[in-house]
Amino acid sequence: MKFIKSEEVNMRKEVLSILLVICLCSGCGNSAKKEQSNTTVKKSEVTTISSNIKWEEITNIKDKDRVIKKNNHILIYDITDYENNNTESKYQYMIFNSDGTKVIETGIQSGDGYVFEKISKDVVRGKRTLGSNVWESVYYNQKTGKKSKKFETPVIEFSKYVGYLIEKNDNIYLKVESMFSDKYVRSFKLDKGEYIPGEFSVSYNSGVITVKNGKKIMKFKK
């Protein structure tokens, strides 16, 4: 009969201990994966609306209490995961064409994203604040399905035109463009003087653009 030396016994005990630790860790890993998987399932319960939906089908949306805005073929839908306290507010926006048969734009944004508003018969404006007295606007033509480029701090919107201020060679210009094409671009030089926030306004009537800056009044033909 052979006797196992104490050193060998101790070595075998150490090996068994290591194997036991490995097994336990593997089990913990599987449990963690299962728990993470369950969490993911909960988050996925907040789903977006398919871009194939038609306006008349909105009434069939399951979570009607999540509808924030629904008019003028503009839909704002809350997709915030309220089960996760660390999740920021998220909203899906959808802009339909004039007859509501097609989505021409959809996206997801946070609470400080674009505010959508119909500004004329066929045009919807998305506007978001960039800073103090600075904002950004983008326009959608619900009749043609066209989307404009982004315009920084527009001071006038009329029909399908948009105007904003630019500075060139120490002069201030009012630049007016077509929202949805490059066919019309004109710049009107304003009188010298500083731009006066709160006292500056631009209006349009019967083909004439009127600019008021303090006590100064300037008129331009479109």
106-133 tens-digit pLDDT: 999 998 899 999 999 999 999 999 988 8
Per DSSP, the chain holds a count of helices (H) and strands (E) of: 1, 15
Residue 62 carries which DSSP code? Answer: S
7-36 tens-digit pLDDT: 554 555 454 454 444 444 444 444 434 333
C-alpha distances out from residue 163 to 78, 154, 189, Å: 33, 6, 13
Amino acid (1-letter code) at residue 15: V
59-98 tens-digit pLDDT: 888 888 999 999 999 999 999 998 887 778 999 999 999 9
Cβ atoms of 91 and 48 within 8 Å: the answer is no
Q: How many Cα atoms occupy the beta-carbon half-sphere of 204 within 13 Å?
A: 14
160-191 tens-digit pLDDT: 999 999 988 888 888 999 999 988 888 888 87
Neighbours of 91 (CB within 10 A): 19
More confident residue, 37 or 137: 137
